[in-house]
Structure 1
Amino acid sequence: MNNMGAIERNGYVFEPEFSVVNQDGAIHVYKNGQFIEEIQFDFTGDFPEHDQIEELVNHYCSQKSKK
């Protein structure tokens, strides 16, 4: 698994990682240093597009803000 830089938003920290061989990845979600959940995704190419990661993070944050 390869690691991408962490994204901080709305009090959450999102740590994406991915496997080029398997063409899949996961974003580990943390709040206050505690693991909350994992968001899984697939991608094509050599690595996931930054826009794809941003879209997943934005969607997660918008869903959490509605609760």
Structure 2
Amino acid sequence: MGAIERNGYRFVPEFSVTYQKGAVHVYRNGKYLDEITFDFSGKYPDVDQIEELVEQYCKNNRITPSSN
């Protein structure tokens, strides 16, 4: 899964299969803002889980998801 763009924000997921942990790094205008951490099981994190984390972050921070 690549980066997700929302209204000038860029969400970049990365994960470790060994540790079963992941993070989504949040950037705006190339500047690092935040990190959303999560746990997962299996070979890869679920794409829907990552998208839900991004949607929740947008909602909590009043970032409109419809604008890219």
TM-score by length of 1: 0.89
Q: Distance in 2 between matches of 1:56 and 1:20?
A: 18
Identity of aligned residues (%): 62
Structure 2, unaligned runs of 5 or more? 64-68
Q: Which residue pairs with 1:42 in the alignment? A: 39
Query: Where does structure 1 differ by over 4 angstroms across 4 or more consecutive aligned residues?
Result: none
State the shift of 1:10 in Å. 2.3
Larger relative contact order, structure 1 or 2 (CA cutoff 8 Å, min sep 6): 2
**Structure 1: stretches of 5+ with no match in the other structure:** none
Counting matched residue pairs gives 63
Q: Deviations over 1:20-62 (max 9, x none)?
A: 0000010000001100011110001110000000000000000
1:65 partnered with 2:55: no
Separation in 2 of the partners of 1:31 and 1:57?
14
